[in-house]
Amino acid sequence: MLLSSRFLLIVVPLAALPFIYLTGRWERRWNVAQAVSLVVLLGVWGLFISAASAVYTRGAPLEMQVGAVAFRVDGLSVLYAGLTLVLGTLAVLYSGRYVAGEVGEEKYYAMLTGMIGAMIGLACAADVFNLWVWFELMVVTSYLLVAFHRENAAALEACVKYLVQSAVGSVFVVFGIALLLAQTGTVNLEQLAASTPASMLTTAAGVFFVTGFGIKIAIVPLHTWLPDAHSQSPSAISAMLSGVVIEGGIVALLRVIGVVEMNWGVTLMVLGAVNIFIGNLLALRQQQVKRLLAYSSVSHIGYMLFGFGIGFYAADVAGIQSGLLHLINHGLMKGAAFLAAGALMFGLNTHAPLEVGDLAGMGKRYPLLCMSMAVALLGLGGIPPLAGFVSKMQIFISGVNAGSGFITGLVVFAALNTLISIGYYLRLIGAMYAVDAPSRLDDRMNGRTIPNTILVPILLLVLAVVVLGVLPGLLNTVTAAAAQAIF
Amino acid sequence: MTAILIVLSPLLGLVANLIFGNRLREPLTGWLATAAAGLAFAFSLTLLRDPTSETVVIGTWLQVSDLSIPLAFRIDTLSITMALVVTGVGTLIHAYSVGYMHGDPRFTRFFIYLNLFLVAMLVLVLADNLAVMFIGWEGVGLCSYLLIGFWFDGETGVRNSNAARKAFIVNRVGDFGLLMSMFIAYHHFGTLDFAGIFAALDTANPATLNALALFMLLGVAGKSAQIPLYVWLPDAMAGPTPASALIHAATMVTSGIYLIVRMGALFALAPLAQTVTVWAGMLTALVAALIAVGQFDIKRVLAYSTVSQLGFMVAAAGMGAYVAAMFHLVTHAFFKSLLFMAAGSVIHGVEHHNEDATLDPQDMRGMGGLARRMPLTFAAYIAGALALAGVPPLAGFFSKDEILAAASGWGVLVYAVLSIAAFLTAFYIGRQVWLVFFGAPRSEAAEKATESSRTMTVPLLVLAALAAVGGLLNLPHNHMLLTWLEHTLGGGEHAAFHMTIAVTSTVIALAGLGMASWLYGAKPFTGEDPLAGRLFNALVNKLWVDDAYQVVFVRPYQRLAAWINNGDRMSLRWIEDRIIALTQRAAQGVQFTQTGQLNWNVVGIMMGLLLVFALVMLVGRL
């Protein structure tokens, strides 16, 4: 099949990008750009659901080819594209009131939709060069979104750091691709997996991939750009960055890492453990809410890497599945937390960084919102019966099942780290509900009303966090198919 | 499918009240909750057509390596019976509460809790495996806690909250037992499904089975208020009376009996556990009946009576007389919820005109002569009291008689002790009727008391009718309940109707009532109990069991906690502080790496590249 209608799944959001921008320019009085984005995403949902059901019913990936560029929609594509669409649609919905009237509103929606399209492309890329192109496209769209508040110096600074470091990573990835291409003469992932020789150059390529994508994934010590970028962007974008964009690096890494013939298990586990620990320590003393959440992402990436590492080490599908489940759960929980933090900033009518102290009395003014935030944070902390608990527990269980004393030790270490994380999540929850100064409370009660378009996306995500915590089996098909695509 | 609808109805009711509660307000929210309960009852009724067992699997709840727990419901005659009792009595109590809770500032919240309770209780009785049952088990415990402490503010707030905590904590002890039994079951049988456990029972040795059953019995003792964990139930009366009637008389407290009957196949193979069960039930029946004689609080008498009656059921279940236990469970649900609701009506009537701040509206010493002031309540109370005492042909007579008949086959001692308990039952309820309804009013409030509203009296009369004719369910010669339950429990022997036992227990009941009327009716009650003496004083003080628990468990634990909290040398607190300080210092140390300088960050990238390379060289070939 050369050019199938399935291809529209990737084409539509990108083709819509200029259209959204132009309609936004043409009509400014109401959120026409947002409306068009939502309509486009609705169409993409239809295409996605049809593709996903085809993948699941056939039990085999859908292959597509345009010239030399190959695409493959498999279980992992469905998982990542699905999560992207969920968060992306809610982010667009949420942004309506959030960025209303800002300069460049129409570019915001165009870029956001384009970013979603790039991520779907990333999920479906079947050759390593193509994968890199989609990856870069995703990152390029996100640069502009990070610096959306361009009057804000800190946002620009964050964007520059993000840009420079991502560019370095991008170069590393190209090095890796070149090394493979030089040895095998192909960039197609399937052919590479079959023909890549075991050599020093291959190993070097692997190292370049881990480091290059690792910058995007925020593997310690490559994570330094993350807290700035994730905290300075508009909150819907923070949710996208933490929830799916950095995970894009993971998806890309999982695709290419199998090409390089060696056991990546221990490497990933060690990197994961370091990430968990350093991310937690950095979050522990953080006073800005969104920076704290950003550091918490560093730690959660560690849990995912840890799960994948166990899976690769023990050749255990359960480990991969648990890592993937955590990827989904983290996307939902962190998305909810960032959106809720943004909603609080909306209530206070400020773009200034939200400090932990600013949360005081918020529970009284915005009970539903703060409850949602609390549920999302408790989920991130791994408190049962929320989603984060289930996936962390599954990671730990597969670790113990691997039957190695070293891994069991790492599991204990990771579990103890959960305690540290509770230390900063509870600090946020405590701050929302504690009322230390009554005068401050009066001030809080004057906060803006949160519109439903902002509240509903948060509530939906929180609902998902609770439902997946009680019924984790719901996603079994999705993670199993995705794990199958990796092995 | 119907099973799902049964659970869903109250769930929808509570969700609707959560969302629209503020807009609907009293009494609409109450009627909404009542309708939800009634709908669940209607769905349960449709299950009566078909006695065959059925498993409804909704999906997988938990899947962890080889442990797979389905979210599944089991429809069989046993669970249908329980569901009918829960939803039937539940609906009446919902309706009654609309009147009883009138004017309460947290009116809607009360009905949300009641609906939530129904959801949890239905999950408990309909569950197809121990894990799902445990969801319901904990859920009803939570609702019990919430409802006991429902009036957590005001003058009695602290007392009520303490009662709620006591119930919760004592129940946790029982839950530990149930959890242990689940661990043992999973360890030995690899499954928590009822059917799976029963099929594998003969693969385990007797010691395992006994341990499993005994741990389960601990759970039963917690939930069904048996020795040694019964102490929470009398205090639980701090909650609103409808909650006492629904949760602490008719339904939740019987879940222990349901559990034994459900696990009947296990107990049949664990003779030691059976003996312990019978003894626990028998002693509870006797001790609680004794304590009930010495109580003056109208609800406390009924609370101890409930403990005692639960003892009868547990003893019967321990003997393997499952049908008798279930029969008594059903009739007891009728007459005890009736008694509680009638008592609530009495309290309501007295409270309404109470201007004396020192008078406790629940104290029977301040009542008397209410028969004339509240005739409907009185009629209902008499029906309940006679049924409880076991006077033929009311419901309690037939069910208690079946238990006594089974006991006579089990052993003389058991039969004798249970007969004494039956005598005490008739005596304390007779005493209560005399103190509350007869004689001259002993307070101004009692003098002015008025009959309660229609929403309260109508459910009373319905339950009174049920208490009167409930015995029809399993009359000696038609055995309707027996043949119905046989579909689930397997063929049991038709308990023969022993004329001697029936006559004896009738005589005992009448003797108890007669003695009560002789002691309390002959001359006017002065506030000094005619039984007053050292023995009676012991009963008034509940045999000092609560005080003993305070000394043996509560205080040492509090001292330990205080010591750990205050000790500033090598105590846990010290270690804790060191860990916190260490973590904080480490965090501080890492913080300095986050300089925000781009150059430094790129150095970090180069270091990262080298680190990954080194790591891959070191461990990549493992």
Closest CA to B198 of B189, B210, B211: B189
Q: What residue type is assigned to position A128 of the chain?
A: V
Q: What burial letters (b/e) apply to A143-155, b meaning 16+ CB within 10 Å?
A: ebbbbbbeeeeeb
Going from the C-alpha of B203 to that of each of B68, B272, B371, the distances in angstroms are 21, 18, 61
Judge whether residue A12 has pLDDT over 60: yes
Mutation to test the B interface, candidates A281, A298, A394, A426, most B Cβ within 10 Å: A281
Under an 8 A CB cutoff, do A262 and B71 touch? Answer: no
Contacts of B588 in chain A (CB under 8 A): 285
Q: Name residues whose C-beta falls within 8 Å of residue A107's C-beta, 6 or more positions apart in sequence.
A: A21, A24, A144
Q: Which pLDDT tens digit goes with each residue over A393-407?
A: 999 999 998 888 899
Q: Measured between CB atoms, which of A219, A262, A318 is closest to B620?
A: A262
Contacts of B69 in chain A (CB under 8 A): none
According to DSSP, the β-strands at B67-75 and A69-73 are unpaired
> Which residues lie across from B339 on neighbouring strands?
none
Q: What residue type is assigned to position B403 of the chain?
A: I
DSSP state letter for B541: T
CB A112 within 8 A of CB A240: yes
CB A282 within 8 A of CB A220: no
Mutation to test the A interface, candidates B57, B68, B577, B594, most A Cβ within 10 Å: B594
CB A72 within 8 A of CB A193: no
Judge whether residue B336 has pLDDT over 70: yes
Chain A to chain B, count of Cβ pairs less than 8 Å apart? 117
Which one is predicted more confidently, B455 or B147?
B147
Cα–Cα distance between B383 and B379 in angstroms, integer? 6
pLDDT at site A440: 64
Mean pLDDT along residues B489-509: 78
Mean pLDDT along residues B592-608: 84
Judge whether residue A188 has pLDDT over 90: no
Judge whether residue A209 has pLDDT over 80: yes
Q: Would you call A221 an interface residue with chain B, using a CB distance cutoff of 8 Å?
A: yes
CB A204 within 8 A of CB A196: no
Judge whether residue A1 has pLDDT over 50: no
Q: Which of A161-175, A295-309, B49-63, B175-189 has the lowest mean pLDDT?
A: B49-63
Q: Give the confidence band of A375 by pLDDT, cuts at 50, 70, 90.
A: very high
Closest residue in chain A to residue B605, using alpha carbons only: A222
Tokens of B229: 């964990």
Cα–Cα distance between A176 and B616 in angstroms, integer? 15
Contacts of A267 in chain B (CB under 8 A): 612, 615-616, 619-620
pLDDT at site B604: 86
Question: Measured on CA atoms in the order A42, A45, A49, A51, is the torsion positive or negative?
Answer: positive
Please report, in angstroms and rounded to a whole number, the separation of the first and last CA atoms in chain A: 25
Q: What residue type is assigned to position A40 of the chain?
A: V
pLDDT at site A101: 77
pTM of the model: 0.73
Closest CA to A149 of A296, A4, A352: A352
Distance from chain centroid for Cα A375: 19
Burial (Cβ within 10 Å: 0-12, 13-18, ≥19) of residue A411: buried
Q: Give the confidence band of A439 by pLDDT, cuts at 50, 70, 90.
A: low
ipTM of model = 0.83
Q: Would you call A404 an interface residue with chain B, using a CB distance cutoff of 8 Å?
A: no
CB A388 within 8 A of CB A342: no
Contacts of A175 in chain B (CB under 8 A): none
Q: Which pLDDT tens digit goes with each residue over B466-491?
A: 888 888 887 777 777 888 888 888 76
pLDDT at site B495: 59
Under an 8 A CB cutoff, do B587 and A228 touch? Answer: no
DSSP state letter for B414: H
Q: Measured between CB atoms, which of A207, A284, A476 is closest to B63?
A: A476
Percentage of chain B beyond pLDDT 70 is 97
| A residues 222-281 closer than 8 Å to B (CB) | 222, 224-225, 227-228, 262-267, 270-271, 278, 281
Contacts of A271 in chain B (CB under 8 A): 612, 615
Q: Would you call A402 an interface residue with chain B, using a CB distance cutoff of 8 Å?
A: no
Judge whether residue A247 has pLDDT over 80: yes
Q: Give the confidence band of B492 by pLDDT, cuts at 50, 70, 90.
A: low
CB B269 within 8 A of CB B195: no
Question: What is the CA angle B525-B530-B536, rounded to 5?
Answer: 130
pLDDT at site B493: 57
Q: What burial letters (b/e) apply to A206-238, b meaning 16+ CB within 10 Å?
A: bbbbbbbbbbbbbbbbbbbbbbbbbbbbbbbbb
Under an 8 A CB cutoff, do B605 and A397 touch? Answer: no
Mean pLDDT along residues B158-172: 92
Query: What does the mean pLDDT of chain B come to?
Result: 88
Count of residues in chain B: 622
H or E element, residue B83: helix B77-100
Contacts of B607 in chain A (CB under 8 A): 221
Under an 8 A CB cutoff, do B596 and A221 touch? Answer: no
Measured in angstroms, the CA of A221 and the nearest CA of chain B are apart by: 6
Contacts of B65 in chain A (CB under 8 A): 318, 397, 401
pLDDT at site A441: 64
Tokens of B222: 């917690």
Measured in angstroms, the CA of B105 and the nearest CA of chain A are apart by: 20
Q: Give the confidence band of A100 by pLDDT, cuts at 50, 70, 90.
A: confident
Distance from chain centroid for Cα B238: 14
CB A148 within 8 A of CB A233: yes
DSSP state letter for B523: S
Measured in angstroms, the CA of A17 and the nearest CA of chain B are apart by: 32
Task: Tell me the three-class secondary structure of B262-309, residue by residue.
Answer: HCHHHHHCCHHHHHHHHHHHHHHHHHHHHHHHCCCEHHHHHHHHHHHH
Q: Give the confidence band of A359 by pLDDT, cuts at 50, 70, 90.
A: confident
| A residues 39-78 closer than 8 Å to B (CB) | none
Judge whether residue B582 has pLDDT over 70: yes
> Which residues lie across from A66 on neighbouring strands?
A69
Task: Tell me the three-class secondary structure of chain A, residue by residue.
Answer: CCCCHHHHHHHHHHHHHHHHHHHHHHCCCCCHHHHHHHHHHHHHHHHHHHHHHHHHHHCCCEEEEECCEEEEECHHHHHHHHHHHHHHHHHHHHHHHHCCCCCCHHHHHHHHHHHHHHHHHHHHECEHHHHHHHHHHHHHHHHHHHCCCCCCHHHHHHHHHHHHHHHHHHHHHHHHHHHHHHHHCCCEHHHHHHHCCCCHHHHHHHHHHHHHHHHHHCCCCCCCCHHHHHHHCCHHHHHHHHHHHHHHHHHHHHHHHCCCCCCCHHHHHHHHHHHHHHHHHHHHCCCEHHHHHHHHHHHHHHHHHHHHHHHHHHCCHHHHHHHHHHHHHHHHHHHHHHHHHHHHHHHHCCCCCCEHHHHCCHHHHCHHHHHHHHHHHHHHCCCCCCHHHHHHHHHHHHHHHCCCHHHHHHHHHHHHHHHHHHHHHHHHHHHHHCCCCHHHHHHHHCCCCCCHHHHHHHHHHHHHHHHHHHCHHHHHHHHHHHHHHHC
Q: Which pLDDT tens digit goes with each residue over B223-262?
A: 999 988 999 999 998 889 999 988 888 899 999 999 999 9
Tokens of B68: 């797979």
DSSP state letter for B411: -
Q: Give the confidence band of A2 by pLDDT, cuts at 50, 70, 90.
A: very low
Cα–Cα distance between B574 and B567 in angstroms, integer? 8
Closest residue in chain B to residue A319, using alpha carbons only: B65
Query: At CB < 8 Å, which residues of chain B contact A?
Result: 59-65, 71, 583-584, 586-591, 593-594, 596, 598, 600-602, 604-605, 607-609, 611-613, 615-617, 619-622
Contacts of A318 in chain B (CB under 8 A): 65
Tokens of A277: 């620990």
Mean pLDDT along residues A114-133: 93
Closest CA to A412 of A399, A403, A423, A425: A399
Q: Give the confidence band of A352 by pLDDT, cuts at 50, 70, 90.
A: confident
Burial (Cβ within 10 Å: 0-12, 13-18, ≥19) of residue B202: exposed
pLDDT at site A98: 84
* Local structure of B60: helix, strand or coil: strand
> Which residues lie across from A73 on neighbouring strands?
A62
Judge whether residue B355 has pLDDT over 80: no
Tokens of A28: 């400014």
Q: Measured between CB atoms, which of B608, B620, B621 is closest to A219?
A: B608
Positions of E strands within B334-416:
none
Cα–Cα distance between A333 and A388 in angstroms, integer? 8
Closest CA to A425 of A281, A293, A274: A293
